[in-house]
Structure 1
Amino acid sequence: MRKIYLLFILVFSSSLTVAQKDLSYFLPDSLEYDSSIPTPESVIGHQVGEWHVTHDKLVYYMKALAAASNRITIIESGKTYEDRPQLLLTITHPENHKNIDQIKRDHKNLTNPELSNGLDVNEMPSVVMMGFSIHGNEPSGSNASMLTAYYLAAAQGSDIEDKLKNVVVLLDPSFNPDGLNRFATWANIHKSENLVTDPNDREFNEVWPGGRTNHYWFDMNRDWLPTQLVESRNRIAQFHAWKPNILTDHHEMGTNSTFFFQPGIPERTHPITPQKNQDLTAQIGEYHAEFLDRIGSLYYSKESFDDFYYGKGSTFPDVQGAVGILFEQASSRGHAQESVNGVLEFPFTIKNQFTASLSTFQAAYEMRTELLTFQKDFYKNSKQMASQASEKAWVVSDLDQSKLFRFAEMLDRQEIEVYKLAKNTAGFDSDNSFIIPTNQNQSRLIKAIFDVRTSFKDSLFYDVSAFNMGMAFNLDYKSLDNKGFNSSLLGERFTADQKPNSNIIGGKSEYAYLMEWHDFYAPKALNKIHKAGLRTKVSTEEIVLSNGETLAIGTILIPVKQQNQSAIQIYQIIEEAITETGVKVHALNSGNTSGVNLGSPSFEPLTKTSIAMVIGEGISPYDAGEIWFLMDQHYEMPITKIDVNDFRRADLSRYNVLIMPDGRYGSMGSQMPKIQSWLQTGGTLIAYQSAAKWLSDQKLTKVKFKKNKADTIGYEAYEDLGNNRGAQVIGGAIFEVELDLSHPIAYGLKKEKMPIFRNTTLFMEKSKNQYANPLRYTQSPLLNGYISEENVEKLKGTSAVSVSRVGAGKVISFTDNTNFRAFWYGTNRLFMNAVFFGQTISGSSAE
């Protein structure tokens, strides 16, 4: 009898029958609502929070609202990679809608000191951009967006009318449509009629890669500044079209938490952010506290989170005269889940997010003139600071025209003025350089993009501690002072249609072509050439043409007579392959080149790549997604994604390149003989970070990693435990490596040293075979960001890339992420060289 009783208690405690919450649960009960405005239930077929709203239903509802309300207009700002629409609702008083274009122009002009003096902020509405659920599996935000939109459309009374006259709300119901839909489907298909609240239930434990990310498994809340993803580009265009005063970013955190709103930890605010921004953030926080008090919700502020990296949604506005606000709500991760605070129901998480939207709306109304004045003064002060600063302009340069173009394109998306360098200056060639004057409206953002700092008030970071874009792109760059800069250096203004030109120098050849390898899109061209069936070789020595021009190691040879296609067909294949790139190809009529001739054994034959990548449980979806994105979006190269659970069934003979992203590979231990056998036949295995460590632990390679010794710091206060451990983390900083430019891994690179991004404490010892260490950390490796003194000592002189031989194959081990967040264009080259040229690395040069 006792056993039955205990069983009853366990079953009862892990299930819950929850009454559906109607609108009265969420909405302020002091107002009346227009009955002609459709409620969420009337469109999506269920109450808010009863089910997780799928993106299609969210779109239907927002369009229905816009059709019914004269307070709302709606646009489609773009499409996601999965072809879902991104929406933006403009919600304000009908009278404002009559001249909304003028309101928009005037508000944008507040950010231009040359135009803002004629604007009276007392007569202007404030603008709030409310953004929901950029992480798809943090869905309370997007579900709350329906309530927010309904409230603003349907609430009646003089109070709401006055607020709408003085505030324009830009509402994006889903920053991440693809991720939201993925997660909603997961939560809904595992919902029981009698809700299971046990955290062990499958409903709360998504399968890999989860719904947090977008289609390519990116954390889009790190892409506000780089804007490498299509969703980000669409969103940023709307941000700059309006320049809102407040931007809210609705997230979720651990189930046992409560509710967080900014400001974050004061010491972890980026120094470029003005103090007034943080003061306003704290002032707005008082509204959040008041509104959450009304509904009895627990909350906190000034802890846990920071405002340092400008690539996050809540920090990005802080360097542009606006106030970014992060909301973090404890997550039910499904429909209801047990927590230390009791059973956390999904409708309650939605209610908190909705309440924070109302408090933001109230703050935007009551603080309207202060917010508008701050925005106006921010740009005036920034312009004045820029005029007084020693840096008058930044010059950026690179022989890689495509990479340089992508850098300028990124700045252009952020409304930063970029110009062609009109004439040679300070050692920069005008043909390969851009110039960015600092005395412009986005001067603070420019300062952030080129920021370098290695000392900090606090050693803990919520995200990366360095994000210098000049380093990320591996550009030559330099600031110009008063003596070095004058307006005559400003050439044509950059526009996004000024793409680099490809060129076949010499026209059609009957003998051979030489394709230079330094352009970012050279791998794309080579893949197309291979796909068309042409034979190619890569030069391991410099080639001197008859005109005296020297082509670097890594140049691709495409002979004519040794192909199955005619000379004209070969010419057309190459011409099509280099279209939309900056790749240069030289047509030769003789192999009698200086240095080495074209028939020299110094040319290594290449084979068409067939690439597979291991993905799945335990493997970082971010790292895997970055590789997938690079291959698919930039290089148009197919890559087979093999789940770890399917690896034993996969026929590896189909592939000559296998990629293992960072992750845990313990479940694949039984597959080591299969991997080793594949390598013996000549495959190239590219392993990142923990994958490289795992291969070493499995004795497949002789690569050695330094061991982390146990702390011996003696007695410390318990309250300092987290900080002391956190100080040893390398959350993301930039370091210097030296390269062997003659090594295949470095083909196409021109400088013997380059910046590399590191976010791991794995330190790979140099191989005893000096030829197996093509990249090594210098003796003074820190360029930008935070690293503890202990770790910088460990890092000095270690290997960043190590090459191991296994039979006829190679294992190329990377300690660092060369493809980080899609904006590390500078080190993408290292990865692509491993893909194409790993097969050519001499066995005697590998460990």
Structure 2
Amino acid sequence: MRKFCFSLLFLGSLCLQAQEYFLKQYEPYKAGIPSPEAFLGYGIGEYHTRHDRIVHYLETLAETSENAEIETYGQTHEKRRLVMLRISRPENLKNLPEFRQRHLAYTDPNTAVKAGNDLPVFVQLGYNVHGNEPSSSEAALLSAYILVASEHPMIERFRREAVVFVDPTINPDGRDRHTQWANSYRGDPLVTDPQDAEHNEYFPGGRTNHYWFDLNRDWLLAINPESRGKLDWYHQWYPNVVTDFHEMGSQSTYFFEPMKDNGSLNPIMPRENYEDLNSLFGAYFAKSLDSIGSLYFTKEVFDGTYPGYGSSYPDLQGGLGLLFEQASSRGHAQKTAYGEITFPFTIRNQLVSSITTVKAAVENKDLLRKYQKEFFNTALRNAAASRVKGYRVVEKYDKNRLKAFIDKLLLHRVKVYRDGEDAIVVPASQPQYRMVQTFFETYERYRDSVFYDASAWSVANFYNMDYRPLRGVPAGKEITSLEGLYPVAPVESSSYAYLIDWDDYNAPALLYRLQSEGLVLASAFKPFTTQVGGREKAFSYGALVLPVSLQKKSPEAVHKILLEAQEEFQVPAYAVPTGYHLKGVDLGSRYVAPLEKPKAAMLIGDGVRSYEAGEVWHLLDTRVHMPITKIPVRNFSRADLDQYNTLVMVSGRYTLSDKEQQRIRDWVSKGNTLVTIAGASRYAIENKWVKESLIEEKKDSAKVVERLPYADASEHLGKESVGGVILRADLDLTHPLAFGYRKADIPVYKNNEVWLKPSQNPYATVAKYSKNAHIDGFLTKKNREEFLNKSASLLVSPLGRGRVVLFADNPNFRGSWYGTNRLFLNALFLGNHIEVPQ
């Protein structure tokens, strides 16, 4: 066996037999089962391992041992497999279907549990949700080998009393992006200089998935296939313990729960979770890490309030989610203030915590099962004690948005019932009562004011759902699937024209599909009422008009194209024989204008916020099926902007030269549309592209500054940031950016300090925060009084013959804001028709 040296952080330099560093403690190992080193051809920690090789190794363990089985639970955007390795003794695996049913009884308050101590505890070891935090997937290989092949008495006990589910890579697309980078720049000898390319990825980095989403925020929102596959798996098994392994800055040490005391309180979470169970398991981790000399810390940072983390979602399912954060080598070895930190060292801490998690779960399995049963029992008791017995959601005009909301409820196993044609009811009295609270309840009071992530997550507001609490729940038919829900009748043939409501969430996708087929459509910039099928029907602002006689295709071809698009996107369409209307404008009105097909581009690259850029890309790719050209900032000076009619700029640290800025201004002035989101809106205003202003903090030089404790600086300063709140904005429903909305007030999401001053132009402020704007989340009194109450959410400012659409907030946040996506899409599809009167 080869020898190689590790420079161990805090421990000095040791030279050990390569894999004894990880494996010796658990000897002996069963012959015939290959170790990771034997399989890969290199020692763990020498290189970063590709995801396909990780999957192949787990398949090999399942093939060579009766202690393991492998299943595929999904695939990524880039079609990489998502797998789970089940590990236990052969008898347990054989009886797993029975064990699963007995285990699920602990999650159902209406089912009695079967007595007996033979039921194993279910432990799910989840690794590498952030692709460029790679140590945990390497630890997954070692953990799997130890748990499958070790004949050590302790490991044999684990197999006897537990079923361990190993998910080696939650984010394979991001991991492989980082793996390629780290291995490509690996030196021999290793380069530990932090400035080396190996330690500094280029945009977008490997943290995120294909569309640059942070999957560790996606458990609740479930936008991506990785999360949807994982949630479907999760609700089949409801593991008692779930791990969530991460990395942090190279200058740090190691973190495990408990989290910070003042950030742990969750209004719907039992205290036993974040106080008793976390402290119990924390003592195990401390002892294990002490034994190998690793430094660590607890209770100082991080909070588990947001329910979309891998370490918080299990807490809402009667399990125990555990967060681990390892100082990162960001490559294979890197110089730090403590000396060198190496990839093998980071792996070993994650490995030790993995095995210790199984140990703690096995030794406390009765307590964990009792807690899980009581968790779901208290859900029903809490629901019974609440005055709110459920929620009624009404959506008359946009069934596709309603279906998307229902889909999210069903994914989390929340029971939903129909209440007539346009409404649903979600009862409180159900095992997933805490998920019902998560979807609908809003909060103003918090124990802490500095959140690691969002402080608002009432999902019903993400979807702009019109909902109200109920004191009693009416009877209705349960919805168990979207299949056949709200079917759309195929449109009849017309030789004159077709009309399509712009209210439907999928209407932009339908429009783009029709435009791509060569059809020309128009938009009604004023409402009208006409006869449809012998009945009077009103069409609101933005209704689409497809005139048959003006097309270059035959009426039969036009009808066929529309039917196919309608079938794909399930958008209602109506055949009409006349353009003469009962009320409002007629189809030949000058207020019915033909639409230009959007040709969009977006700046990306170093300095640009990849999350926001990815949200734009994902929205257009997956829901509108419309391409957007992603132009790296480094290439912008030679890009031909005249190919596009819309340019998107998201938040970022832009370093455009004066010449490049002038190119953008000149291009907009020709009649094109620039859409800026949050930080990019600030950039456009500060660089005087538009005649708009920001609301800035007033500086009072005469004010006496109060002295505060230095140690509390981060907490005091941090609470003034807007980490993520839901606010109410008031829309001008007659403005093209607001077409498709029927109500003037709309929830918006703010996670920045960009405060736009309402425009001096009376027609340019499309959305202003309402008088009582706060809906959900933490916001300081200062932010409310000095900024929020005086600010606008959305402006349109003229620039030559073009316009700049300035969003203060992010209308596409995390791919989940179905309620504000339309504002952004209107800027793309209707932008060229927006003229700001001077």
Q: Structure 1 length as normaliser, TM-score?
A: 0.95
Tell me how far apart the structure 2 counterparts of residues 757 and 669 of structure 1 sit (CA, whole Å): 32
What is the aligned partner in structure 1 of residue 6 from structure 2? none
What is the aligned partner in structure 2 of residue 11 from structure 1? none
Tell me how far apart the structure 2 counterparts of residues 331 and 585 of structure 1 sit (CA, whole Å): 55
What is the aligned partner in structure 1 of residue 749 from structure 2? 757
Tell me how far apart the structure 2 counterparts of residues 334 and 745 of structure 1 sit (CA, whole Å): 46
Does residue 178 of the first structure (1) align with residue 163 of the second (2)? Answer: no
Tell me how far apart the structure 1 counterparts of residues 430 and 116 of structure 2 sit (CA, whole Å): 22
What is the aligned partner in structure 1 of residue 413 from structure 2? 415
* Structure 2 letter corresponding to 1:305: F
Does residue 317 of the first structure (1) align with residue 314 of the second (2)? Answer: yes
Tell me how far apart the structure 2 counterparts of residues 637 and 654 of structure 1 sit (CA, whole Å): 15
What is the aligned partner in structure 2 of residue 468 from structure 1? 458
Matches within 5 A, 1:183-582: 183-269=178-264, 270-278=266-274, 279-398=276-395, 399-421=397-419, 430-481=420-471, 484-486=472-474, 488=475, 490-505=476-491, 507-546=492-531, 547-582=535-570
% identical equivalent positions: 39
What is the aligned partner in structure 2 of residue 4 from structure 1? none
What SS does the aligned partner of 2:593 have? strand
* Structure 1 letter corresponding to 2:479: R
Does residue 75 of the first structure (1) align with residue 71 of the second (2)? Answer: yes
Contact 2:672 2:803 in 1 (8 A): yes
What SS does the aligned partner of 2:170 have? coil
Contact 1:135 1:220 in 2 (8 A): yes
Query: What do residues 406-460 of structure 1 show as CA deviations (whole Å, max 9, x unaligned)?
Result: 1110111111111211xxxxxxxx2111111111111111112212111212111
What is the aligned partner in structure 2 of residue 745 from structure 1? 737
Contact 2:26 2:146 in 1 (8 A): no
Does residue 799 of the first structure (1) align with residue 792 of the second (2)? Answer: yes
What SS does the aligned partner of 1:741 have? coil
Select 1:827's aligned residue among 820, 829, 832. Answer: 820
Does residue 777 of the first structure (1) align with residue 769 of the second (2)? Answer: yes
Tell me how far apart the structure 2 counterparts of residues 178 and 569 of structure 1 sit (CA, whole Å): 41
Tell me how far apart the structure 1 counterparts of residues 15 and 61 of structure 2 sit (CA, whole Å): 26
What is the aligned partner in structure 2 of residue 6 from structure 1? none
Query: What do residues 129-173 of structure 1 show as CA deviations (whole Å, max 9, x unaligned)?
Result: 100010000000001000000000111043322221111101100
Distance apart, 1:18 and its partner CA: 9.2
Tell me how far apart the structure 2 counterparts of residues 396 and 46 of structure 1 sit (CA, whole Å): 57
Tell me how far apart the structure 2 counterparts of residues 121 and 302 of structure 1 sit (CA, whole Å): 37
What SS does the aligned partner of 1:666 have? coil
Residues 476 and 462 of structure 1: CA distance in aligned 2, closer, same or farther (over 3 Å): same
Distance apart, 1:843 and its partner CA: 3.4
What is the aligned partner in structure 1 of residue 103 from structure 2? 107
* Structure 1 letter corresponding to 2:254: F
Residues 215 and 254 of structure 1: CA distance in aligned 2, closer, same or farther (over 3 Å): same
Tell me how far apart the structure 2 counterparts of residues 612 and 244 of structure 1 sit (CA, whole Å): 44
Contact 1:21 1:347 in 2 (8 A): no
Contact 2:26 2:152 in 1 (8 A): no
What SS does the aligned partner of 2:107 have? coil
- Matched residue count: 817
Tell me how far apart the structure 2 counterparts of residues 205 and 500 of structure 1 sit (CA, whole Å): 50
Distance apart, 1:320 and its partner CA: 1.2
Tell me how far apart the structure 2 counterparts of residues 710 and 143 of structure 1 sit (CA, whole Å): 52
Query: What do residues 245-273 of structure 1 show as CA deviations (whole Å, max 9, x unaligned)?
Result: 00000000010111100110122121211
Query: What do residues 799-818 of structure 1 show as CA deviations (whole Å, max 9, x unaligned)?
Result: 11111111221110101000
Matches within 5 A, 1:57-96: 57-96=53-92
What SS does the aligned partner of 1:767 have? coil
What is the aligned partner in structure 1 of residue 834 from structure 2? 841
Tell me how far apart the structure 1 counterparts of residues 209 and 200 of structure 2 sit (CA, whole Å): 18
What is the aligned partner in structure 1 of residue 3 from structure 2? none
Does residue 44 of the first structure (1) align with residue 40 of the second (2)? Answer: yes
Residues 797 and 738 of structure 1: CA distance in aligned 2, closer, same or farther (over 3 Å): farther
What is the aligned partner in structure 1 of residue 5 from structure 2? none
What is the aligned partner in structure 2 of residue 8 from structure 1? none
Contact 1:500 1:581 in 2 (8 A): no
Tell me how far apart the structure 1 counterparts of residues 405 and 657 of structure 2 sit (CA, whole Å): 39
Query: What do residues 744-793 of structure 1 show as CA deviations (whole Å, max 9, x unaligned)?
Result: 01000011101100001111001111110010011221111011111111
What SS does the aligned partner of 1:461 have? coil
Contact 1:121 1:369 in 2 (8 A): no
Tell me how far apart the structure 1 counterparts of residues 140 and 643 of structure 2 sit (CA, whole Å): 47
Residues 590 and 151 of structure 1: CA distance in aligned 2, closer, same or farther (over 3 Å): same
What is the aligned partner in structure 1 of residue 691 from structure 2? 702
Does residue 596 of the first structure (1) align with residue 585 of the second (2)? Answer: yes
Tell me how far apart the structure 1 counterparts of residues 558 and 605 of structure 2 sit (CA, whole Å): 40
Query: What do residues 193-226 of structure 1 show as CA deviations (whole Å, max 9, x unaligned)?
Result: 1111111111110000000000000000000011
* Structure 2 letter corresponding to 1:459: S
Does residue 150 of the first structure (1) align with residue 145 of the second (2)? Answer: yes
Residues 39 and 521 of structure 1: CA distance in aligned 2, closer, same or farther (over 3 Å): same
Contact 1:17 1:194 in 2 (8 A): no
Tell me how far apart the structure 1 counterparts of residues 799 and 116 of structure 2 sit (CA, whole Å): 70
Distance apart, 1:530 and its partner CA: 0.7
Contact 2:192 2:335 in 1 (8 A): yes
Residues 355 and 669 of structure 1: CA distance in aligned 2, closer, same or farther (over 3 Å): farther
Contact 1:121 1:373 in 2 (8 A): no
* Structure 1 letter corresponding to 2:259: G
What SS does the aligned partner of 2:393 have? strand
What is the aligned partner in structure 1 of residue 706 from structure 2? 714
Distance apart, 1:476 and its partner CA: 0.5
Distance apart, 1:45 and its partner CA: 1.4
Distance apart, 1:697 and its partner CA: 1.9
* Structure 1 letter corresponding to 2:487: N
Does residue 726 of the first structure (1) align with residue 721 of the second (2)? Answer: no
Q: Which stretches in structure 2 are left out of the alignment for 5+ residues?
A: 1-11
What SS does the aligned partner of 1:770 have? coil
Distance apart, 1:502 and its partner CA: 3.1
Distance apart, 1:499 and its partner CA: 4.6
Query: What do residues 499-528 of structure 1 show as CA deviations (whole Å, max 9, x unaligned)?
Result: 5433455x1111111110011100000001
Distance apart, 1:35 and its partner CA: 2.3
Distance apart, 1:729 and its partner CA: 0.4
What SS does the aligned partner of 2:684 have? helix
Tell me how far apart the structure 1 counterparts of residues 355 and 547 of structure 2 sit (CA, whole Å): 68
CA RMSD of aligned residues (A): 1.6
Tell me how far apart the structure 2 counterparts of residues 517 and 679 of structure 1 sit (CA, whole Å): 26
Q: Structure 2 length as normaliser, TM-score?
A: 0.96
* Structure 1 letter corresponding to 2:387: S
Contact 1:657 1:686 in 2 (8 A): yes
What SS does the aligned partner of 2:734 have? coil
What SS does the aligned partner of 2:409 have? helix
Contact 1:554 1:747 in 2 (8 A): yes
Tell me how far apart the structure 1 counterparts of residues 258 and 13 of structure 2 sit (CA, whole Å): 37
What SS does the aligned partner of 1:122 have? coil
What SS does the aligned partner of 1:402 have? helix
What SS does the aligned partner of 1:730 have? coil
Distance apart, 1:30 and its partner CA: 5.5
Of residues 262-271 and 157-166 in structure 1, the stretch that sits farther from structure 2 once superposed is 157-166
Distance apart, 1:531 and its partner CA: 0.7
Distance apart, 1:393 and its partner CA: 1.4
What SS does the aligned partner of 1:811 have? strand
Contact 2:130 2:206 in 1 (8 A): yes
Contact 1:502 1:581 in 2 (8 A): no
Tell me how far apart the structure 2 counterparts of residues 410 and 717 of structure 1 sit (CA, whole Å): 45
What is the aligned partner in structure 2 of residue 622 from structure 1? 611
